Structure 1
């Protein structure tokens, strides 16, 4: 049965776009020309605005230009039984050292993994390291987005870290952004970020079609994805500051005004090539933190205090008006919006947003064969974006909690982990409730997954990649530290 509360009392009407518009300096105002289908990446991706069935079918069959953001549509393999196709083991940590390992990206050929100030590319199939991209200082911010032709972006320090342990240097200024090709490891360009020296904790990076964006807490900037040419910048943080952006299909900004004790937050839909604000939604007073779950449809998470996010708010794409409200009741859901010691804005990695529905997993329950009595480990729950009501629940299995990873066309890719049985990647159909197994990989092949959560799992082109965001060599550990492992169908 569907249920859902009315909007909370702390939401408020949307002001006009002019009320929240910030001054941005347009360096170049350009229009992207339509690119031919011969330059595109075939039928792996879907992109299209809402509309009638015929227009949706045309959009589904039309390939995307190379600089659009990838949205791979998966198909079940001939057999779901999987084996290892990629592995990265780090070998240079000393006892007691910890190294940050930001960023995991995959294409049809390569899986790339960041660690400290290096990104390494491994060939899928034999795990051979085929390229290494070195930065002067540590990688301090990454985006999960990848373009159709395999480009992604990172922010890094232009200063070399002080001599010492491998994990040192993370407090160096985060002052540069670069775009590289995941298949080849070639750095296409890098630029110094505007404004003063920013700490790693305050920098956010994202991508939308043809554009790379960064915000440092002191300045925000947009670059052309192909050339690195600066499109616009905003360095006036006297009243309001762009804290960061959510990219992908669209682009929205999180803007903070006032002091940190009593902040006022605004959500703005931004024209990527000009920086112009198309509409503004003002978050109600009393909210202390806001995170961006999705740019299109726009979804934000709000936290009225220090205990974490309490609601998701769905906005309309066209005018930024509030639509549905979804309560994150009693800490029930694995939404991934809140992380201690992180200023990342484009978070909520446990929230998967489709065109009509939103998906989250409930928190796993303790499992004991003697007491389970048929109880499931957890559920993946879908919510209607227009109303906030629940639509459907997909039950996991006892001892095998399940988490949504991303959309695949109109279906949801989910990861089902298991300690003593094969873990799995599955496809969930929100229309029929059907679950289809995409990939199974057994416990003998999977690495230890202590503390693994959905942000550490990437599913791309029939393969699942499990990775870590930091590597530690504790006292007594051997020299080989697991960083990433990938699996695909053996059929």
Structure 2
């Protein structure tokens, strides 16, 4: 159990294996209102513009009641719109008004929120899976259990639950459920069952509960829909990646992963990018596929622990992972592992780099050097640019925009390390950049002996101009 400032926790977590949140390729124009011209049920691809001044102040914060000593609580889900930032903790999602941090709504579920999607629709909807009953004590008394058996869609701005449904098939535990979204469609995998719902009405579009030698493990959403399928037993699996028509469930193409691969994760649905583990369960390569036929394009070697890709995160059963990999239309971006730094060597080598790879060839096409002691990590695409988080322990941290064509870095937001809250948790915080604001949020919280009277869960920063 570590009790550390958020920014220091970010550095430690990245060095331990990577975690950076969010990031799917974007086709948006450079207009700040690009999303407004798209359908309301399309997946949001916000294009950011620089604020009037980069100096940051508090945008919103969430301080919860302290847990009991030794208690740990899950805090799944962080979403932001232009007006509201929403944060999940245990079985509740709360919405806070940006500007004064007032709690404006609360959405409570019978049991804990057990799976979330990072995707948000253009009009501010997202989905969560939850337990329809209160957790029960196990026979051994070592913890609480509850089936993850329901799914809901809610409006982030209002907190209104638009619909909820019971997932088909036998109820699965939280580690067996995956949720994602693509245009107009919410898709979930629960145990052996796959199901898709209309995003607006909750009407079931298609489902697959058949028992066979092949089963869906999960889907990647966003601009498209891609399924990860495992055939055979877990000791000697065969994996397939399939592009799926969201409204019908029809398979459009299938890519058969090599037999030697022991694990697969989905980094992006469109362009399709997968992470594969050859030899053991640690990801060794990223493979780009063609969007039209699923043919293999470029391959990127991950070179041991050189890159912070986030594909092998712990405490997660998600297949739509690789949270440190940001995929654009033609290129893919990853950060290298941060290097050691001390003030005495501040003129030494760069802290790390964000590397751009060509999806067609797998070759390196550009590197963005971070400043000494200030490693950078990509968060997501913003049109044809990359938004990155620049962490610093002894100077203001920042959000920056990187231009892959010119190699130019532009400052978006600055905020100091003394403004960051202390958080207790088993996992590193999430980082979300949306509408010119950056939010740092816990993914789980715990209370250790001697902790203070407040439990920080989330804090956001915005331009003070």
Common fold, TM-score beyond 0.5?
yes
CA 1:259–1:162 in structure 2 vs 1: closer, same or farther (change >3 Å)? closer
Give 1:172 shift: 1.0
Q: Distance in 1 between matches of 2:291 and 2:424?
A: 39
Residue 366 (structure 2) pairs with residue 388 (structure 1):
no
Per mean C-alpha deviation after superposition, the further-off stretch among 327-336 and 305-314 is 305-314
Q: Distance in 1 between matches of 2:70 and 2:441?
A: 20
What is the RMSD of the two structures over their aligned residues, measured on CA atoms?
2.2
Q: Which position in structure 2 is the counterpart of 1:470?
A: 444
User: Do the aligned partners of 1:118 and 1:133 also contact (CA within 8 Å) in 2?
Assistant: yes
Q: How does 1:113-262 map to 2 (within 5 A)?
A: 113-162=87-136, 171-262=145-236
CA 1:138–1:305 in structure 2 vs 1: closer, same or farther (change >3 Å)? farther
How many correspondences in the alignment? 437
Q: How does 1:31-46 map to 2 (within 5 A)?
A: none
Q: How does 1:9-408 map to 2 (within 5 A)?
A: 47=27, 63-162=37-136, 171-408=145-382
CA 1:195–1:307 in structure 2 vs 1: closer, same or farther (change >3 Å)? closer
In structure 1, stretches of 5+ residues that fail to align are 1-44, 49-54
Give 1:451 shift: 8.6
Q: Distance in 1 between matches of 2:231 and 2:48?
A: 42
4+ residue runs over 3 A deviation: 45-48, 59-62, 448-455
Q: Distance in 1 between matches of 2:132 and 2:36?
A: 40
Q: Distance in 1 between matches of 2:199 and 2:123?
A: 12
TM, length-normalised to structure 2: 0.90
User: Do the aligned partners of 1:47 and 1:64 also contact (CA within 8 Å) in 2?
Assistant: no
Q: Distance in 1 between matches of 2:35 and 2:230?
A: 40
Q: Distance in 2 between matches of 1:450 and 1:131?
A: 25
Per mean C-alpha deviation after superposition, the further-off stretch among 453-462 and 183-192 is 453-462
Query: 1:394-443 CA deviation, whole Å, 9 max, x = no partner?
Result: 11111111100000000000001111110000000000000000000012
Q: Which position in structure 1 is the counterpart of 2:21?
A: none
Partner SS for 2:180: strand
Q: Distance in 1 between matches of 2:191 and 2:269?
A: 20
CA 1:219–1:308 in structure 2 vs 1: closer, same or farther (change >3 Å)? same
User: Do the aligned partners of 1:113 and 1:121 also contact (CA within 8 Å) in 2?
Assistant: yes
CA 1:61–1:161 in structure 2 vs 1: closer, same or farther (change >3 Å)? closer
User: Do the aligned partners of 1:152 and 1:181 also contact (CA within 8 Å) in 2?
Assistant: yes
CA 1:189–1:341 in structure 2 vs 1: closer, same or farther (change >3 Å)? same
CA 1:382–1:451 in structure 2 vs 1: closer, same or farther (change >3 Å)? farther
Give 1:454 shift: 8.5
Partner SS for 1:96: coil
Q: Which structure shows the higher strand fraction?
A: 2
In structure 2, stretches of 5+ residues that fail to align are 1-24
Query: 1:217-236 CA deviation, whole Å, 9 max, x = no partner?
Result: 31000000000000000011
Query: 1:136-163 CA deviation, whole Å, 9 max, x = no partner?
Result: 0000000000000000000001111248
Question: Which fold has the larger relative contact order, with Cα–Cα distance below 8 Å and residues 6 or more apart in sequence?
Answer: 2
Partner SS for 2:228: strand
Partner SS for 1:303: strand
Query: 1:359-402 CA deviation, whole Å, 9 max, x = no partner?
Result: 00001011023235431111100000000000111111111111
Q: Which position in structure 2 is the counterpart of 1:439?
A: 413
Q: Distance in 2 between matches of 1:241 and 1:163?
A: 30
CA 1:122–1:135 in structure 2 vs 1: closer, same or farther (change >3 Å)? same
Partner SS for 2:123: coil
Larger Rg: 1
User: Do the aligned partners of 2:424 and 2:445 also contact (CA within 8 Å) in 1?
Assistant: no
Query: 1:7-26 CA deviation, whole Å, 9 max, x = no partner?
Result: xxxxxxxxxxxxxxxxxxxx
Give 1:90 shift: 1.4
Q: Distance in 1 between matches of 2:115 and 2:319?
A: 11
Partner SS for 1:245: strand
